[in-house]
Amino acid sequence: MRILLILGILILAIAAALAMVGLREDPPKKEIVQQDPLVDVMVLETMTANFAVRSQGTVQPRTETILSAEVSGTISSISPKFIAGGVFQANEVLMRIDPTNYKVAVDQADALVLQRQIEYDGAKKLKSQGYRAEAEFASAAAALASAKAEQVRAKRNLERTFIRLPYEGIVRSKDSDLGQFVSPGTRLGVTFATDFAEVRLPLTDLDLAFVSLPDAKDLAESGGADGPDVVLSAVRKGQTTEWRGQMVRTEGVVDEKSRVTYAVARIDDPYRLHSDGSALPMGTFVTASIDGESVSDVFRVQNSAIRGASQLLFVTDENKLHIRNVDVIRKDSEYSYFRGAKEGERIVTSALETPIEGMTIRTAEDDPEIPSQVATTDSGDEQ
Protein backbone atom coordinates (compact mmCIF):
# COMPACT_ATOMS: atom_id res chain seq x y z
CA MET A 1 0.00 0.00 0.00
CA ARG A 2 2.82 2.40 0.89
CA ILE A 3 4.60 1.72 -2.40
CA LEU A 4 1.47 2.55 -4.40
CA LEU A 5 1.14 5.83 -2.49
CA ILE A 6 4.73 6.85 -3.31
CA LEU A 7 4.31 6.01 -7.00
CA GLY A 8 1.15 8.07 -7.13
CA ILE A 9 2.87 11.09 -5.66
CA LEU A 10 5.71 10.83 -8.25
CA ILE A 11 3.25 10.55 -11.11
CA LEU A 12 1.34 13.63 -9.91
CA ALA A 13 4.61 15.66 -9.59
CA ILE A 14 5.72 14.77 -13.12
CA ALA A 15 2.32 15.67 -14.54
CA ALA A 16 2.40 19.05 -12.76
CA ALA A 17 5.84 19.83 -14.10
CA LEU A 18 4.82 19.01 -17.68
CA ALA A 19 1.75 21.19 -17.35
CA MET A 20 3.82 24.16 -16.15
CA VAL A 21 6.28 23.78 -19.05
CA GLY A 22 3.43 23.72 -21.52
CA LEU A 23 1.96 26.95 -20.11
CA ARG A 24 5.35 28.93 -20.50
CA GLU A 25 5.49 31.35 -23.44
CA ASP A 26 8.36 31.12 -26.00
CA PRO A 27 11.02 33.95 -25.75
CA PRO A 28 10.86 36.62 -28.46
CA LYS A 29 13.16 35.99 -31.43
CA LYS A 30 15.67 38.71 -32.44
CA GLU A 31 16.65 39.24 -36.01
CA ILE A 32 20.42 38.73 -36.60
CA VAL A 33 21.93 41.76 -38.34
CA GLN A 34 25.24 41.30 -40.19
CA GLN A 35 27.30 44.52 -39.80
CA ASP A 36 30.13 45.50 -42.14
CA PRO A 37 33.58 45.86 -40.50
CA LEU A 38 34.36 49.27 -39.06
CA VAL A 39 37.75 50.76 -40.05
CA ASP A 40 39.75 53.96 -39.61
CA VAL A 41 40.60 55.77 -42.83
CA MET A 42 43.10 58.41 -43.84
CA VAL A 43 42.80 60.94 -46.65
CA LEU A 44 45.98 61.09 -48.75
CA GLU A 45 47.72 64.43 -49.30
CA THR A 46 50.93 65.03 -51.26
CA MET A 47 53.98 66.39 -49.49
CA THR A 48 57.63 67.28 -50.03
CA ALA A 49 60.03 65.14 -48.02
CA ASN A 50 63.69 65.69 -47.22
CA PHE A 51 65.13 62.24 -46.74
CA ALA A 52 68.02 61.72 -44.33
CA VAL A 53 70.26 58.83 -45.37
CA ARG A 54 71.60 56.89 -42.41
CA SER A 55 74.75 54.81 -42.14
CA GLN A 56 77.51 53.97 -39.67
CA GLY A 57 81.26 53.58 -39.64
CA THR A 58 84.51 53.98 -37.70
CA VAL A 59 86.54 57.18 -37.41
CA GLN A 60 89.91 56.86 -39.13
CA PRO A 61 92.86 59.27 -39.50
CA ARG A 62 93.33 61.08 -42.79
CA THR A 63 97.06 60.32 -42.73
CA GLU A 64 98.77 57.59 -40.72
CA THR A 65 102.54 57.08 -40.82
CA ILE A 66 104.70 54.15 -39.84
CA LEU A 67 108.00 55.76 -38.85
CA SER A 68 111.12 53.89 -39.97
CA ALA A 69 114.80 54.75 -39.64
CA GLU A 70 116.46 55.89 -42.89
CA VAL A 71 120.01 55.73 -41.54
CA SER A 72 121.73 53.49 -39.03
CA GLY A 73 122.96 54.54 -35.60
CA THR A 74 122.11 54.77 -31.95
CA ILE A 75 119.07 56.77 -30.80
CA SER A 76 120.64 59.63 -28.87
CA SER A 77 117.57 61.66 -27.86
CA ILE A 78 113.77 61.33 -27.78
CA SER A 79 111.19 64.08 -27.36
CA PRO A 80 108.97 63.75 -24.26
CA LYS A 81 106.05 64.02 -26.68
CA PHE A 82 107.06 60.80 -28.44
CA ILE A 83 104.83 58.57 -26.33
CA ALA A 84 101.47 56.95 -27.09
CA GLY A 85 98.96 59.79 -27.08
CA GLY A 86 101.58 62.53 -27.32
CA VAL A 87 100.62 65.57 -29.43
CA PHE A 88 103.33 67.13 -31.60
CA GLN A 89 103.62 70.04 -34.01
CA ALA A 90 104.55 69.95 -37.67
CA ASN A 91 108.33 69.52 -38.25
CA GLU A 92 108.95 69.09 -34.53
CA VAL A 93 111.91 66.76 -33.79
CA LEU A 94 110.57 63.61 -32.17
CA MET A 95 113.75 61.54 -32.15
CA ARG A 96 117.45 61.97 -33.00
CA ILE A 97 119.86 59.34 -34.22
CA ASP A 98 123.53 59.92 -33.22
CA PRO A 99 124.78 62.34 -35.94
CA THR A 100 128.55 62.10 -35.28
CA ASN A 101 129.47 59.90 -38.25
CA TYR A 102 127.21 61.86 -40.57
CA LYS A 103 128.70 65.21 -39.55
CA VAL A 104 132.14 63.81 -40.33
CA ALA A 105 130.87 62.62 -43.71
CA VAL A 106 129.57 66.13 -44.46
CA ASP A 107 132.92 67.69 -43.54
CA GLN A 108 134.73 65.23 -45.81
CA ALA A 109 132.33 65.92 -48.64
CA ASP A 110 132.80 69.69 -48.23
CA ALA A 111 136.57 69.30 -48.35
CA LEU A 112 136.41 67.09 -51.45
CA VAL A 113 134.16 69.57 -53.23
CA LEU A 114 136.63 72.37 -52.43
CA GLN A 115 139.51 70.31 -53.81
CA ARG A 116 137.63 69.35 -56.97
CA GLN A 117 136.58 72.96 -57.49
CA ILE A 118 140.22 74.11 -57.41
CA GLU A 119 141.17 71.37 -59.89
CA TYR A 120 138.32 72.31 -62.17
CA ASP A 121 139.19 76.02 -62.10
CA GLY A 122 142.81 75.25 -62.94
CA ALA A 123 141.89 72.91 -65.80
CA LYS A 124 139.51 75.49 -67.17
CA LYS A 125 142.19 78.22 -67.12
CA LEU A 126 144.81 76.03 -68.78
CA LYS A 127 142.32 74.94 -71.43
CA SER A 128 141.60 78.56 -72.28
CA GLN A 129 145.36 79.11 -72.75
CA GLY A 130 145.70 76.01 -74.89
CA TYR A 131 147.76 73.96 -72.39
CA ARG A 132 145.12 71.33 -71.54
CA ALA A 133 143.23 68.95 -73.76
CA GLU A 134 139.44 68.84 -73.86
CA ALA A 135 139.42 65.37 -72.28
CA GLU A 136 141.37 66.54 -69.23
CA PHE A 137 138.97 69.45 -68.71
CA ALA A 138 135.98 67.14 -69.02
CA SER A 139 137.51 64.79 -66.45
CA ALA A 140 137.91 67.64 -63.95
CA ALA A 141 134.32 68.75 -64.52
CA ALA A 142 133.07 65.19 -63.93
CA ALA A 143 135.09 64.88 -60.71
CA LEU A 144 133.61 68.15 -59.43
CA ALA A 145 130.06 67.02 -60.22
CA SER A 146 130.64 63.70 -58.42
CA ALA A 147 131.99 65.47 -55.35
CA LYS A 148 128.98 67.78 -55.24
CA ALA A 149 126.63 64.78 -55.50
CA GLU A 150 128.42 63.11 -52.59
CA GLN A 151 128.11 66.35 -50.63
CA VAL A 152 124.33 66.39 -51.19
CA ARG A 153 124.10 62.75 -50.09
CA ALA A 154 126.12 63.40 -46.94
CA LYS A 155 123.99 66.40 -45.98
CA ARG A 156 120.81 64.44 -46.68
CA ASN A 157 121.96 61.58 -44.45
CA LEU A 158 122.72 64.07 -41.70
CA GLU A 159 119.22 65.49 -42.07
CA ARG A 160 117.78 61.97 -41.81
CA THR A 161 119.12 61.67 -38.28
CA PHE A 162 116.25 64.00 -37.30
CA ILE A 163 112.93 62.14 -37.06
CA ARG A 164 110.11 64.62 -37.75
CA LEU A 165 106.89 64.84 -39.72
CA PRO A 166 105.36 67.54 -41.96
CA TYR A 167 102.04 67.59 -40.07
CA GLU A 168 100.57 68.18 -36.63
CA GLY A 169 99.54 64.89 -35.12
CA ILE A 170 99.39 62.36 -32.32
CA VAL A 171 101.63 59.38 -31.57
CA ARG A 172 99.72 56.11 -31.77
CA SER A 173 102.58 53.84 -30.65
CA LYS A 174 106.28 54.03 -29.74
CA ASP A 175 108.36 51.07 -30.94
CA SER A 176 111.97 52.17 -30.29
CA ASP A 177 113.63 53.82 -27.33
CA LEU A 178 116.66 55.76 -26.18
CA GLY A 179 120.03 54.02 -26.65
CA GLN A 180 118.69 51.47 -29.13
CA PHE A 181 120.73 50.84 -32.28
CA VAL A 182 118.62 51.06 -35.41
CA SER A 183 119.35 50.31 -39.04
CA PRO A 184 117.52 51.51 -42.17
CA GLY A 185 113.98 50.12 -42.09
CA THR A 186 113.77 49.65 -38.32
CA ARG A 187 110.27 50.58 -37.11
CA LEU A 188 110.30 53.53 -34.72
CA GLY A 189 106.59 54.14 -34.10
CA VAL A 190 103.23 55.05 -35.62
CA THR A 191 101.69 58.53 -35.83
CA PHE A 192 98.64 60.10 -37.46
CA ALA A 193 97.57 63.59 -38.51
CA THR A 194 94.94 65.52 -36.55
CA ASP A 195 93.94 68.20 -39.07
CA PHE A 196 90.87 66.16 -40.00
CA ALA A 197 89.49 62.64 -39.74
CA GLU A 198 87.49 60.50 -42.15
CA VAL A 199 84.67 57.97 -41.80
CA ARG A 200 83.87 55.34 -44.45
CA LEU A 201 80.09 55.01 -44.67
CA PRO A 202 78.50 52.10 -46.58
CA LEU A 203 75.54 53.16 -48.76
CA THR A 204 73.18 50.96 -50.71
CA ASP A 205 72.10 51.73 -54.24
CA LEU A 206 68.74 52.94 -52.89
CA ASP A 207 70.53 55.29 -50.48
CA LEU A 208 72.53 56.78 -53.36
CA ALA A 209 69.27 57.72 -55.10
CA PHE A 210 68.47 60.21 -52.30
CA VAL A 211 71.85 61.84 -51.68
CA SER A 212 74.02 63.90 -54.04
CA LEU A 213 77.66 62.89 -53.61
CA PRO A 214 80.76 64.08 -55.50
CA ASP A 215 81.68 61.54 -58.17
CA ALA A 216 84.92 60.72 -59.97
CA LYS A 217 84.31 63.41 -62.59
CA ASP A 218 83.89 66.11 -59.93
CA LEU A 219 87.15 65.07 -58.26
CA ALA A 220 88.99 64.91 -61.61
CA GLU A 221 87.86 68.37 -62.68
CA SER A 222 88.22 70.27 -59.41
CA GLY A 223 90.53 68.11 -57.32
CA GLY A 224 87.88 68.09 -54.62
CA ALA A 225 84.18 68.65 -54.24
CA ASP A 226 81.87 69.66 -51.43
CA GLY A 227 79.07 67.22 -50.74
CA PRO A 228 76.10 67.34 -48.38
CA ASP A 229 76.43 67.91 -44.65
CA VAL A 230 76.50 64.94 -42.30
CA VAL A 231 75.89 64.64 -38.56
CA LEU A 232 77.88 61.99 -36.73
CA SER A 233 76.81 60.80 -33.30
CA ALA A 234 78.26 58.49 -30.66
CA VAL A 235 78.11 57.98 -26.91
CA ARG A 236 80.96 59.81 -25.18
CA LYS A 237 81.28 59.86 -21.39
CA GLY A 238 77.81 58.41 -21.05
CA GLN A 239 76.11 61.03 -23.22
CA THR A 240 75.17 61.08 -26.89
CA THR A 241 77.39 63.62 -28.63
CA GLU A 242 77.17 64.96 -32.17
CA TRP A 243 79.78 66.27 -34.60
CA ARG A 244 79.13 67.99 -37.91
CA GLY A 245 81.07 67.03 -41.00
CA GLN A 246 80.83 66.94 -44.76
CA MET A 247 80.69 64.25 -47.41
CA VAL A 248 83.70 64.72 -49.67
CA ARG A 249 83.79 61.74 -52.05
CA THR A 250 82.90 58.16 -52.79
CA GLU A 251 85.50 55.47 -53.24
CA GLY A 252 84.26 54.91 -56.77
CA VAL A 253 83.74 51.14 -56.61
CA VAL A 254 81.00 48.76 -55.48
CA ASP A 255 82.05 46.21 -52.89
CA GLU A 256 81.80 42.81 -54.55
CA LYS A 257 80.70 41.01 -51.38
CA SER A 258 78.27 43.41 -49.75
CA ARG A 259 77.20 45.30 -52.92
CA VAL A 260 77.49 48.66 -51.17
CA THR A 261 79.35 51.81 -52.16
CA TYR A 262 81.55 53.49 -49.56
CA ALA A 263 81.24 57.25 -49.19
CA VAL A 264 83.72 59.26 -47.13
CA ALA A 265 82.78 61.90 -44.56
CA ARG A 266 85.35 64.40 -43.28
CA ILE A 267 85.45 66.02 -39.83
CA ASP A 268 87.78 68.97 -39.27
CA ASP A 269 89.92 69.13 -36.13
CA PRO A 270 88.50 65.94 -34.55
CA TYR A 271 90.57 66.31 -31.37
CA ARG A 272 89.50 69.95 -30.99
CA LEU A 273 93.07 71.18 -30.72
CA HIS A 274 92.10 74.48 -32.34
CA SER A 275 88.38 74.69 -31.57
CA ASP A 276 85.90 74.13 -28.78
CA GLY A 277 83.75 71.08 -28.29
CA SER A 278 84.02 67.39 -27.51
CA ALA A 279 86.90 65.46 -29.11
CA LEU A 280 86.18 62.62 -31.54
CA PRO A 281 88.95 60.03 -31.01
CA MET A 282 90.13 57.76 -33.80
CA GLY A 283 88.50 54.35 -33.70
CA THR A 284 85.15 55.68 -32.42
CA PHE A 285 82.14 53.89 -33.92
CA VAL A 286 79.63 56.51 -35.06
CA THR A 287 76.22 56.62 -36.68
CA ALA A 288 75.77 59.10 -39.53
CA SER A 289 72.78 61.06 -40.79
CA ILE A 290 73.45 62.51 -44.25
CA ASP A 291 71.37 65.39 -45.58
CA GLY A 292 69.37 63.98 -48.48
CA GLU A 293 67.65 65.54 -51.45
CA SER A 294 64.09 66.91 -51.41
CA VAL A 295 61.49 64.73 -53.10
CA SER A 296 58.13 66.29 -54.01
CA ASP A 297 54.68 64.85 -54.71
CA VAL A 298 54.96 61.84 -52.42
CA PHE A 299 52.55 60.40 -49.86
CA ARG A 300 53.35 59.33 -46.31
CA VAL A 301 51.62 56.71 -44.18
CA GLN A 302 52.53 54.85 -41.03
CA ASN A 303 54.28 51.58 -41.63
CA SER A 304 51.40 49.68 -40.02
CA ALA A 305 49.15 50.68 -42.93
CA ILE A 306 51.36 48.89 -45.46
CA ARG A 307 50.49 45.24 -46.02
CA GLY A 308 53.37 43.08 -47.13
CA ALA A 309 55.98 45.02 -49.11
CA SER A 310 53.86 47.62 -50.91
CA GLN A 311 50.13 46.90 -50.59
CA LEU A 312 47.53 49.41 -49.39
CA LEU A 313 43.78 49.07 -48.76
CA PHE A 314 41.91 51.84 -50.60
CA VAL A 315 38.31 52.83 -49.87
CA THR A 316 36.10 53.77 -52.83
CA ASP A 317 33.32 56.36 -52.76
CA GLU A 318 30.84 53.49 -52.29
CA ASN A 319 32.79 52.29 -49.22
CA LYS A 320 34.06 49.28 -51.10
CA LEU A 321 37.51 47.88 -50.39
CA HIS A 322 40.10 48.04 -53.20
CA ILE A 323 43.47 46.33 -52.69
CA ARG A 324 46.27 47.95 -54.68
CA ASN A 325 50.07 47.94 -54.84
CA VAL A 326 51.90 51.27 -54.66
CA ASP A 327 55.49 52.33 -55.32
CA VAL A 328 57.17 52.56 -51.90
CA ILE A 329 60.27 54.70 -52.46
CA ARG A 330 61.57 54.82 -48.89
CA LYS A 331 60.87 53.72 -45.33
CA ASP A 332 62.07 54.81 -41.94
CA SER A 333 61.32 53.52 -38.46
CA GLU A 334 57.84 55.10 -38.44
CA TYR A 335 56.68 56.06 -41.92
CA SER A 336 56.58 54.75 -45.49
CA TYR A 337 56.81 57.16 -48.43
CA PHE A 338 55.23 56.15 -51.70
CA ARG A 339 53.85 57.14 -55.09
CA GLY A 340 51.14 55.53 -57.17
CA ALA A 341 48.06 57.14 -55.61
CA LYS A 342 45.97 60.26 -56.10
CA GLU A 343 45.51 63.12 -53.69
CA GLY A 344 42.20 62.82 -51.84
CA GLU A 345 41.99 59.04 -52.02
CA ARG A 346 41.20 57.23 -48.78
CA ILE A 347 43.12 54.30 -47.33
CA VAL A 348 42.51 51.99 -44.39
CA THR A 349 44.85 52.60 -41.46
CA SER A 350 43.38 50.20 -38.88
CA ALA A 351 43.93 46.46 -38.76
CA LEU A 352 41.62 44.42 -40.97
CA GLU A 353 41.94 40.71 -40.37
CA THR A 354 40.81 39.26 -43.72
CA PRO A 355 40.44 41.99 -46.35
CA ILE A 356 38.64 40.91 -49.51
CA GLU A 357 38.56 42.86 -52.75
CA GLY A 358 35.21 44.63 -53.13
CA MET A 359 33.95 43.99 -49.60
CA THR A 360 31.79 46.68 -48.01
CA ILE A 361 33.19 48.47 -44.98
CA ARG A 362 32.10 51.17 -42.58
CA THR A 363 34.15 54.21 -41.61
CA ALA A 364 34.01 56.36 -38.51
CA GLU A 365 32.79 59.33 -40.53
CA ASP A 366 29.80 57.28 -41.75
CA ASP A 367 28.60 56.49 -38.20
CA PRO A 368 28.00 59.63 -36.10
CA GLU A 369 27.85 57.60 -32.89
CA ILE A 370 31.51 56.59 -33.25
CA PRO A 371 34.28 59.15 -32.69
CA SER A 372 36.05 59.94 -35.93
CA GLN A 373 39.68 58.84 -36.22
CA VAL A 374 40.31 60.15 -39.70
CA ALA A 375 43.87 61.48 -40.10
CA THR A 376 45.62 63.32 -42.88
CA THR A 377 49.29 63.58 -43.72
CA ASP A 378 51.34 66.57 -42.62
CA SER A 379 54.11 68.00 -44.72
CA GLY A 380 57.46 67.49 -43.10
CA ASP A 381 60.89 66.03 -43.26
CA GLU A 382 62.04 62.54 -42.48
CA GLN A 383 63.93 62.60 -39.22
Please tell me the predicted confidence (pLDDT) of residue 383. Answer: 45
Residue 162 has pLDDT above 80, yes or no: yes
23 pLDDT band (50/70/90 cuts)?
A: low
31 pLDDT band (50/70/90 cuts)?
A: low
* Predicted confidence (pLDDT) per residue in 214-262, tens digit: 777 766 666 656 788 999 999 988 899 999 999 988 888 888 888 999 9
Residue predicted with more confidence, 177 or 21:
177
152 pLDDT band (50/70/90 cuts)?
A: very high
38-50+295-376 topology per CATH: 2.40.420
Please give the mean pLDDT across all residues of the chain. 86
Q: What are phi and psi of 200, to 5 degrees?
A: -85, 120
What is the domain partition of the chain in residue ranges?
A: 38-50+295-376, 54-62+195-294, 65-97+165-194, 99-160
Burial class from Cβ neighbours inside 10 Å (0-12, 13-18, 19+) for residue 53 reads buried
| Orientation angle between helical segments 134-159 and 100-129, nearest 10 degrees | 160
* Predicted confidence (pLDDT) per residue in 298-328, tens digit: 999 999 888 888 889 999 888 889 999 999 8
CATH number corresponding to 65-97+165-194: 2.40.50.100
CA–CA separation, 155 vs 162, rounded Å?
Answer: 12
CATH 1.10.287 is held by the domain 99-160: yes
Bridge partner residues of 138 (DSSP) = none
54-62+195-294 topology per CATH: Elongation Factor Tu (Ef-tu); domain 3 (2.40.30)
Please tell me the predicted confidence (pLDDT) of residue 376. Answer: 39
Q: Enumerate the H helices of the chain as residue ranges.
A: 2-23, 100-129, 134-159, 205-208, 216-222
Please tell me the predicted confidence (pLDDT) of residue 51. Answer: 83
Enter the pTM of the model: 0.71
Residue predicted with more confidence, 1 or 194:
194
CA–CA separation, 255 vs 251, rounded Å?
Answer: 10
Q: Which of 31-45, 188-202, 324-338 has the lowest mean pLDDT?
A: 31-45
Please tell me the predicted confidence (pLDDT) of residue 375. Answer: 39
CA–CA separation, 46 vs 22, rounded Å?
Answer: 70
